[in-house]
Amino acid sequence: MQGINEVEGKVAIVTGAASGIGRAITELLVARGARVIAEDIDPAVLAMESPSVVPLVADIAAEGSAEKAVALAMDRFSRLDLLVNNAGIIINKLVVDMSRDDWERIMNVNVTGAFLHSREAVKAMIPQRSGAIVNVASYASYFAFPTIAAYTASKAALAQLTRTLALEAIGHGIRVNAVGSGDVLTNILNTVAPDGNGVAALAAHGKSAPIGRAADPEEIAEVVLFLASERASFMVGSVVMADGGMSVKVGS
């Protein structure tokens, strides 16, 4: 496998690209020679525009957003090689306190958005008989925690979407895999942390992992890049755990 230059010349879509893991993935892809459609509901994504980054402000779960992202890749770069379904949200409520709107918003962003983007990406990749999809799952895909039932259910669904789509897509030369991330220093908990400091909450919880800390977004981005590259050419339907050993600890 020596001599493979990872993703140079590839075209990618990254959802949730404006901050955290998504921004780290986008920056790493660009640094390694890829061009990226950076999609996010946050208009801050517009500031990422460059010759290699085309920003798109969109709600990934909204009707037509996936089609728009793929069409933008084809219009600007004439192909689509990679999709990273990274966007995700979390709500911190007991099941008895959770509204249907709470539940559906989590599922729409974390699962339906990934489904819609994967469906449209595969359609674009089939004619070229190549491509890769990487989903950002979690150790919460496998383990339950009080107050985040919708999040854990959504990440479990994402893991199963990964496996099932992998079987359907590999015959077209398209690989589908996921990374099961642990606690990562991002702003995902800002709206649920009592003091609004989600990064501090994640840093504190990360200390309970065997590695003794939370991850930097760049560490998860490296795993995503590996799964997206030809270095992972024999990986199909895998959920690669990058959680500092949290799943090993929880499962013991």
151 counts as catalytic: yes
Q: In what order do the strands lie in the sheet with 11-15?
A: 53-57, 35-40, 11-15, 82-85, 131-138, 174-181, 239-242
In this structure, are residues 173 and 131 in contact, taking their beta carbons and an 8 Å threshold? yes
Q: Which of 56, 151, 152, 154 is catalytic?
A: 151
Between strands 82-85 and 53-57, the pairing is unpaired
Determine the distance from the C-alpha atom of residue 118 to the mean position of all C-alpha atoms in its chain, rounded to a whole number.
11
Distance CA 6, CA 4 (A): 6
In this structure, are residues 81 and 132 in contact, taking their beta carbons and an 8 Å threshold? yes
User: What burial class does residue 118 get, using C-beta atoms within 10 Å of its C-beta: 0-12 exposed, 13-18 middle, 19+ buried?
Assistant: buried
Q: Which positions are catalytic? A: 151
